[in-house]
Amino acid sequence: MSFLRVLLAILFPPLSVIGKGCGSILIVFLLTLCGWVPGVIAALVILNNPDN
């Protein structure tokens, strides 16, 4: 996980997971619409997932 991805996860979470698939982008986008904090948390969890 690079510094740029973490910065994007904090500023605009859907952009940080753009390489992780359409489902991840959609989930993070919807959570960001519900509130900024849930979107950031979801983006950081997806970025820290060792399986991807």
52 closest CA partner among 17, 25, 28, 6: 17
Confidence class for position 26, pLDDT limits 50, 70, 90: very high
Q: What is the pTM of this model?
A: 0.87
Q: How many CB atoms lie within 10 A of CB 48?
A: 11
Residues spanned by the domain of 16: 3-48
In the predicted model, is pLDDT for residue 52 greater than 70?
A: no
With beta carbons less than 8 A apart as the criterion, state whether 33 and 12 touch: no
In this predicted structure, what is the pLDDT of residue 42?
A: 95
- In total, how many domains does the chain have? 1
